[in-house]
Structures are given as structure tokens and as C-alpha cells.
């Protein structure tokens, strides 16, 4: 067998395992060979104990094929091990792109036809990968078409990324245009481009404060809430790190004392469970909640 043919078949194997199912036409185009050669290679892959799966006009390879199992012995998981890991992933509250991708990868490798696909934000994952590379190499990036949540404007932002926050859904950067540190939502950039420029302002990089609701800022504000059992349980389900800020008041009632960087996160929590929560401290937060209620009522024509 010629070296060229071996390389051709190895490339086909990778395509069928990682990108399948693919049609003969897809394989021929990607490998730059004729359809006849595709069929011949498929037959030769079958001859080495690779289970070729045909779905309509498309082909893929069963990841549990004997040849692959032998090839990857010692570095892949058994079905039972994979299911155990998936169960652990399903139980954690971490919703980061890495966890979602790991869930999807295990599902596709071990139970492609049994497990429901996990919702995966490939766009955010792609941005995260570029940003991670830039942080490691200390390079500048351009956040293309970044949508600002405050102004609603879309623009390119030249930044030096240096720290990931909020389960890797946000990135702390030094923005050159404003000469200030800012926190950006990774998903709000259409794409990330690494610029061939090294950091110039490393000495000005500063980490932000992050509250339990995953909002960041340069300073915090104290808020105290009185919560019932429902509110307490929902809070801990969504934000387990809140537990150390909760103290019991007796009779299934609890007090939350917490420092927040923004009223938005805690405000969403209070408004969603207003019947089970009373604001004990922070007049500014009370005013914020009143204003949010007024805006909602006006928006839905409840009051003028």
C-alpha cells in the first residue's frame, strides 16, 4: 500500500469519526479524490474491523468499532465510565462552554443515538478559544461587532484580554480606546481576531470585583434580603456560592447579606420571587426595584 493511499484513508477515517455522517460527494470533495476511490476506501476500512454506518446516502464510523477501541485503548473511557462522567456533568451548575462541549463530545462518542444532544454555543466556544490563545501569548485582539448592553451600539473593540470571569462567559480586558479596564461578555462579540501586537499596558491590568450573581464592577454595594424557603432554595440552585451569605431566621425564613457590583443580578432575583422576598437594607436598591416595576408597567400599558 502506498504512503499516499495510507494518508488518504487516515484522513477519511478522521472525517468519518469527527465530521460524519458524510456523503460520498462530501468525502470526494474534501479529499480531492474520485467517488470511485471513496467507495474503495470505505471497503478497505471495513476490512480492518471499522464499522461503517450508512444513513441514507451518508456514511459515518461507529466510535466503538473494534479497531478504534484497540487503537485508543488506555486513553478512552468505557461506556460505564462515560455515563458516570455525563451524570456528573448533568448535576453540576457550571454552564461554561467547556462543560457543554465536554458533555456533547462524550455524548457523540459513546451514546450518539441514545443521549439527547446538549445545547452547545459553538459561537461562544470559538470566541473563547481565540481569547484563551491571546491571553496565553499576551497579544491584543479585536472583538468584532461587539454589542454593548448599555448603549446597544455595535462596534469593533481593540483590547488586551487578560482574565476570564463568570465561568468563562466573560473576559476582563484593557480597552485601548478608553484606556480603561472593562469586562466583556464573550458571546456578544460576533468574532474574535488575534492581532499581531503584544500587550502594551500590562502594568495597568486590574482585576474587577465579582458578585455572586456574576456581575462585575470596581466597587460593591451591600444589600440585605429577608427570604422564604422557596427564594432561598432557588437562590442556592442558581448560585450555590450564595450559601455562605445566608443565615437562618427560624421558621423557614432566612436572611441574605451580600455585596453586589450591580443591582441587575440581584434585582432579577427579587423581581422573579417578589412574593417570597423583602428588602431589608439598601434604599438605593429599593428605589431601583420601584423604577423597574414602573418601567415594566409602562411597557405593558398597565399604567401611563
Query: Which CATH architecture does the domain made up of 123-207 adopt?
Result: Roll (2.30)
Label residues 46-78 b or e (16+ Cβ within 10 Å = b). Answer: eeeebeeeeeeebbbbebebeebeeeeeeeeee
> What are the angstrom distances between the C-alpha of 276 and each of 1, 252, 256?
73, 11, 13
Distance in angstroms (rounded) separating the CA atoms of residues 130 and 258: 34
Label residues 91-122 b or e (16+ Cβ within 10 Å = b). Answer: eeeeebbebbbebbebbebbbeeebeebeebe
Which residue, 240, 237, 230, is CA-closest to 273? Answer: 230
pLDDT at residue 18 in the model: 73
Distance in angstroms (rounded) separating the CA atoms of residues 116 and 134: 34
pLDDT at residue 85 in the model: 60
Cell 440552585 belongs to: 237
Rounded to 5°, the CA angle 84-87-93 comes to: 140
pLDDT in tens, 187-209: 999 999 999 999 999 999 988 78
pLDDT at residue 114 in the model: 39
> What are the angstrom distances between the C-alpha of 43 and each of 5, 138, 162, 187?
13, 48, 50, 43
**Domain 3-71 - what CATH class?**
mainly alpha
pLDDT at residue 174 in the model: 96
pLDDT at residue 76 in the model: 53
CATH of 216-299, one of 3.30.70, 1.20.140, 1.10.760, 2.60.40: 3.30.70
What is the grid cell recorded at 250? 427560624
Please tell me whether residue 146 adopts helix, strand or coil conformation.
strand
pLDDT at residue 115 in the model: 38
pLDDT at residue 2 in the model: 52
Rounded to 5°, the CA angle 72-58-69 comes to: 10
Q: How many CA atoms lie within 13 A of 280 on its CB side?
A: 13
Distance in angstroms (rounded) separating the CA atoms of residues 26 and 22: 6
Average pLDDT, consecutive stretches of 10 residues, N- to C-terminus, the chain (304 residues): 67 78 88 88 81 84 69 55 58 60 62 43 80 92 90 91 83 94 92 95 89 86 96 94 94 95 94 96 96 89 68
Domain edges within the chain: 3-71, 79-110, 123-207, 216-299
pLDDT in tens, 31-88: 888 989 888 888 888 887 777 888 888 888 776 676 666 655 554 555 555 655 655 5
Distance in angstroms (rounded) separating the CA atoms of residues 48 and 293: 67
208 within 8 A of 157, measured Cβ to Cβ: no
Distance in angstroms (rounded) separating the CA atoms of residues 42 and 58: 12
Amino acid at each position: 500500500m502506498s504512503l499516499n493511499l495510507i494518508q488518504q484513508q487516515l484522513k477519511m477515517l478522521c472525517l468519518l469519526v469527527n465530521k460524519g455522517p458524510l456523503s460520498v460527494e462530501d468525502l470526494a470533495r474534501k479529499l480531492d479524490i474520485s467517488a470511485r476511490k471513496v467507495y474503495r476506501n470505505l471497503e478497505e476500512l471495513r476490512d480492518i474491523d471499522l464499522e461503517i454506518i450508512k444513513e441514507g446516502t451518508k456514511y459515518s464510523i461507529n466510535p466503538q468499532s473494534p479497531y478504534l477501541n484497540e487503537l485508543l485503548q488506555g486513553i478512552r473511557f468505557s461506556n460505564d465510565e462515560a455515563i458516570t462522567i455525563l451524570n456528573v456533568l448533568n448535576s453540576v451548575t457550571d454552564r461554561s462552554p467547556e462543560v457543554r462541549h465536554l458533555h456533547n463530545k462524550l455524548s457523540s462518542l459513546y451514546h450518539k443515538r441514545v443521549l439527547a444532544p446538549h445545547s452547545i454555543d459553538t459561537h461562544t466556544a470559538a470566541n473563547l478559544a481565540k481569547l484563551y490563545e491571546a491571553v496565553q501569548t499576551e497579544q491584543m485582539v479585536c472583538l468584532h461587532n461587539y454589542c454593548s448592553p448599555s448603549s446597544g451600539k455595535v462596534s469593533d473593540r481593540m483590547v488586551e484580554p487578560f482574565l476570564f470571569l463568570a465561568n468563562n462567559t466573560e473576559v476582563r480586558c484593557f480597552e485601548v480606546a478608553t484606556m480603561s479596564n472593562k469586562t466583556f461578555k464573550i458571546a456578544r462579540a460576533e468574532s474574535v481576531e488575534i492581532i499581531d501586537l503584544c500587550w502594551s499596558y500590562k502594568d495597568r491590568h486590574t482585576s474587577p470585583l465579582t458578585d455572586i450573581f456574576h456581575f462585575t464592577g470596581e466597587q460593591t454595594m451591600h444589600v440585605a434580603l429577608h427570604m422564604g424557603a422557596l427564594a432561598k432554595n432557588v437562590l442556592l440552585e442558581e448560585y450555590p456560592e450564595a450559601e455562605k451569605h445566608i443565615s437562618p431566621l427560624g421558621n423557614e425564613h432566612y436572611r441574605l447579606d451580600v455585596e453586589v457590583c450591580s443591582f441587575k443580578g440581584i434585582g432579577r432575583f427579587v423581581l422573579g420571587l417578589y412574593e417570597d422576598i423583602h428588602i431589608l437594607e439598601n434604599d438605593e436598591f429599593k428605589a431601583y426595584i420601584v423604577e423597574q416595576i414602573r418601567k415594566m408597567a409602562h411597557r405593558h400599558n398597565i399604567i401611563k
